Amino acid sequence: MDEDKVTGFSAIENLVSKDKQDAFIEALRDRKLNVTAAAKLAEVDKSNIYKQRKYSEEFAKAWAEVEEELIDDLEEDQFRAAKKEGQDRRYILSRRRGQRWSEKQAIASKITVEHRRADEMSDAELEDLIDGK
């Protein structure tokens, strides 16, 4: 690719304008990493967005930061849900953070769930259960 004599950047690095890149990054955050929806919202061609990420280190870094931020949020949500529901939810996170959340990883997550019938519980126990205690 020929370099621009003024900026020193190749044309592929500037395939998507800086304004459109910024709009895409915001849309990617708003659309929870849905690239197709973010590209539509930012009014850019999806294939050009992928090319821009491949050839622009700055754009790729911004994209990766959004991914990390949203995966952190997902991880937090899954942890809260696992505590509340008593289920192991590592499978949801294992696709993006395999080293941390894969089944092969030795993570001790033992949650004991006590099953009792409501008619066997006292009023205080039922109120605690309703209040999430």
Q: What is the DSSP string of 78-128?
A: HHHHHHHHT---HHHHTTTSHHHHSTTS------------GGGS-HHHHHH
Per-residue pLDDT averaged across 76-93, rounded? 69
Residue 20 gets which letter from DSSP?
A: H
**Per-residue pLDDT at 109 exceeds 60:** no
Between 109 and 19, name the one with better pLDDT: 19
**Per-residue pLDDT at 121 exceeds 80:** no
What pTM value is reported for the model?
Answer: 0.58
